[in-house]
Chains A and B, each alone.
Chain A
Amino acid sequence: MSDHYTVLGLYRKVETITKAGDPIREAFGVKDGDIEVLSSAAYPDGALLDDKELLHQVESRQFLFPFLMGFVGFGAGVILAGGTGYIMNLIVGGKSPFTYAPTGVITYEFTLLFGVIGSVLSLLYYAGLPNWTDRAYDPEVADGALGLLVKVYSKEDQEKAAKIMEDYGAYKIKKGVNDF
């Protein structure tokens, strides 16, 4: 895999950063996945950057994780509560080895447990976490700065992108290699 270069520009105002996104995309034909906005709080989709299409793709698949895991949990619950009870077959209280209501209770709980696990997995998978490597980032993002992060494939493009960002009001530029 060839190297890529990144530019991170920090902005202070929402208005400024919204203007900087499009020129950069146009200048290099940056794909949806190669441009990012870093912020300390969740902005509504498309408020800072027009990447709705990509996110729409992600979101339409994200629910599958808890959903499918829920099915797994359902199966686990049925097997655990009903199946083992049937196999082990010890009679208690005149009840049949397979009982519907207790199996239902356990199945409900397990479905939800696996749903929780699925939700977390969906977050980790689609957000690309955990990633403890040194990535393009600036601690000032945590203090309210907005970062525009772009990925390009040559040194010249990197310089150009930095230039555009500065022109559009970035007060700080950070350049990096292979750390998108």
Chain B
Amino acid sequence: MSLDDNVKRSADAGVAGGHHGDVMALPEIESFRDPETKAAKAHYDDADIYRDEKGFNEHTLRPMFFTTKSYFIFTLALGLVMAQGLGFFVYQTFVGLGMAGIHEPVYWGAYIATFVFWVGMSHSGTIVSSILRLTQANWRRPILRAAEAMTAFSLMVAGLFPLIHVGRLWRAYYMVPLPSQRMLWPNFKSPLMWDFCAINIYLTGSMTFLYIGLLPDLAVARDKAIAMGNWRRHYLKVLALGWRGSHREWSVYNKCSLFLAVIILLIAPSVHTIVSWDFAMTMTPGWHTTIFGPYFVVGAIYSGIAAVITLMITLRILFNLDDVIRKFHIDALGKLLLVIAIIWTYFYFCEFITNWYSHKPEEWEVMAWQGHRFPYHLMVMLGGSCLTIFCLSWRRFRSCMPCMFALTLLVNCGMYIERYLIVVPILSRRDNPFMWTDYTPTITEVGIIVASFAYFIFLYAIFIKLFPIVTMADVKEGVIVSGDVRLGRHAVRVQVKE
């Protein structure tokens, strides 16, 4: 039985009563359609879905319950890409890490660059989500879930790379502090150990954050699934924990979200700082700088927000969510991206000018060697700073979906190359000139890295089919706590803040 049938049946039975529109006691939306009110237009440029809560539920749950044929074809294609990566990985594990292009002294290559990239990607979701939660930014509401899910999944992908990259995968559990007869204990003085702890803790934290955010929406989805007799009811019943939406639950829940937002906000920057310390704690020229911590964190947020925008536009198009994820949201995220782009550019410049000015031979050698890859640098500069800052300064550009899609992809290409430039050329030009070499990734590395992207998209695709992708409860709350105030000929949207 489909959702629509069910709606009809309950309507016929007179249970639902029909008048759902008046539940939300909204002011007359038509007034916002007044062509004179520009700000209102930005909010309500599409059909208004928030008026009818039942309709809203069905609309936002549609991507979850209804699956098209092209979805299956798409996931199958992703599966094939993942399969080739898995093949390379298994082969590499059984034959030896020599299948990758790394060699003495470039011991870390594309794997670690990709690891840093994915950890970076994970920083947008929770940071953006918790900052926006704490500042009670009203426009955050529909995009939270998608951003938080991105965090969890990119971390899951990132966590694979250290495993892919270690020499003895079958001994990787030595890093877990398990008391045993072998008397093996991890070395907590090692930045890698901090990294191991931080990544795991961040994964735990962001998964929790995602799940706690999901809880009320799971209850909605559960009720729908039970009404429809859908197979999803089995796990939704369990995961929703018997949520009823009582006021006590909501009150405790909001408090808990607040705690989590604060804690996540403390964890997230520390995670990427620690990732940067994997490099900065060494005495390798080019890596050993104090700037790496904040530089990495800003870079992470930068690529993360760009990825959120890419993802939003994709979701908007694929699942017809243009009335939930509006142009206004992309515009607001674009402004955020602009600010971060400027900060990142500042760091990029700082790193360059200190090295250039002091011209210490060992550090300058690294810089000069990076300079040999001028096309890469051009890409970083264009994608990372100049072009982005220029384009994002225009409102017309920010609200142009294809432009934003292309630009955010460019930003992430630039950021990937930036990570590559941090890891590889610096190792190619170490202290000992006798060992200077170059490095190019092999087909094994490329295959596995491509598969990691497919894996991320795959996880996301699965998630969309299993859980509600729009933060429904938050959107509803937004409708409740906001109303409009008329100022002469203008209608101004206001929000109640606690």
Contact = CB atoms under 8 A, between A and B. Distances in A.
A41 B227 CA distance: 20
Contacts of B208: 116, 119-120
Given A14-B25, A92-B189, A129 B16 contact: no
Interface in A136-171: 136-137, 139-146, 149, 171
Interface stretch (B243-251, B306-314, B408-416): B243-251
A122 B23 contact: no
A90 B204 CA distance: 30
Contact of A116 (B188, B254, B263): B263
Contact of A119 (B53, B194, B260): B260
B476 interface: yes
Interface in B189-228: 189, 193-194, 197-198, 201, 204-205, 208, 212, 216, 219-220, 223-224, 226-227
A3 interface: no
A74 interface: no
B219 A59 contact: no
B443 to A, nearest CB: 37
Interface string A30-48: 0000001111111111001
B249 A129 contact: yes
Interface stretch (B79-87, B104-112, B266-274): B266-274
B197 to A, nearest CB: 5
A144 B20 contact: yes
B403 interface: no
B477 interface: yes
A116 B205 contact: yes
A143 B249 contact: no
Contact of A44 (B17, B248, B255, B498): B498
A80 B187 CA distance: 10
A139 B263 contact: no
Nearest to A132: B242
A112 B267 contact: yes
B251 A40 contact: no
Interface residues of A, number: 74
B223 A139 contact: yes
A144 B188 contact: no
Contact of B185 (A62, A88, A95): A88
B375 to A, nearest CB: 38
A88 B189 CA distance: 13
A55 B223 contact: no
B274 A127 contact: no
Contacts of A133: 242
B224 A142 contact: yes
Interface in B459-498: 473, 476-477, 479-481, 496, 498
Contacts of A88: 185
Contact of A41 (B188, B223, B243, B476): B476
What's the dominant secondary structure at chain B's contact region?
helix
Which residue, B193, B238, B244, has most C-beta atoms of chain A within 10 A?
B244
B235 interface: no
A145 B245 CA distance: 11
Contacts of B260: 116, 119-120
Contacts of A115: 259, 263
Interface string A62-86: 1100100000000000001110110
Contacts of A22: none
B28 interface: no
Nearest to A10: B17
Interface in A107-129: 108-110, 112-113, 115-116, 118-120, 122-124, 126-129
A109 B204 contact: no
B246 A37 contact: yes
Contact of A171 (B17, B197, B204, B220): B17
Given A36-B246, A80-B188, A105-B274, A112 B205 contact: yes
Contacts of B245: 38-41, 141-142
Contacts of B237: 132
B54 A62 contact: no
A42 B253 contact: yes
Interface in B394-420: none
6 interchain residue pairs of minimum CB distance:
A144-B53, A41-B476, A130-B241, A139-B223, A81-B188, A123-B256
23 contacts: A14-B25, A37-B247, A38-B246, A41-B216, A55-B251, A59-B251, A66-B259, A84-B185, A85-B189, A105-B194, A106-B188, A109-B194, A110-B197, A112-B266, A116-B205, A124-B241, A127-B248, A133-B242, A140-B15, A142-B57, A143-B20, A143-B54, A144-B54
Interface of A: 12-15, 36-45, 48-49, 51, 54-55, 58-59, 62-63, 66, 80-82, 84-85, 88, 90, 92-93, 95, 99, 102-103, 105-106, 108-110, 112-113, 115-116, 118-120, 122-124, 126-133, 135-137, 139-146, 149, 171-172
Given A40-B220, A106-B197, A131-B241, 14 more contacts: A13-B22, A39-B245, A41-B216, A62-B252, A99-B189, A106-B188, A109-B197, A110-B201, A112-B201, A128-B248, A130-B241, A137-B244, A142-B223, A144-B53
Interface of B: 15-17, 19-20, 22-25, 53-54, 57, 177, 185, 187-189, 193-194, 197-198, 201, 204-205, 208, 212, 216, 219-220, 223-224, 226-227, 237-238, 241-256, 259-260, 263-264, 266-267, 270, 274, 473, 476-477, 479-481, 496, 498
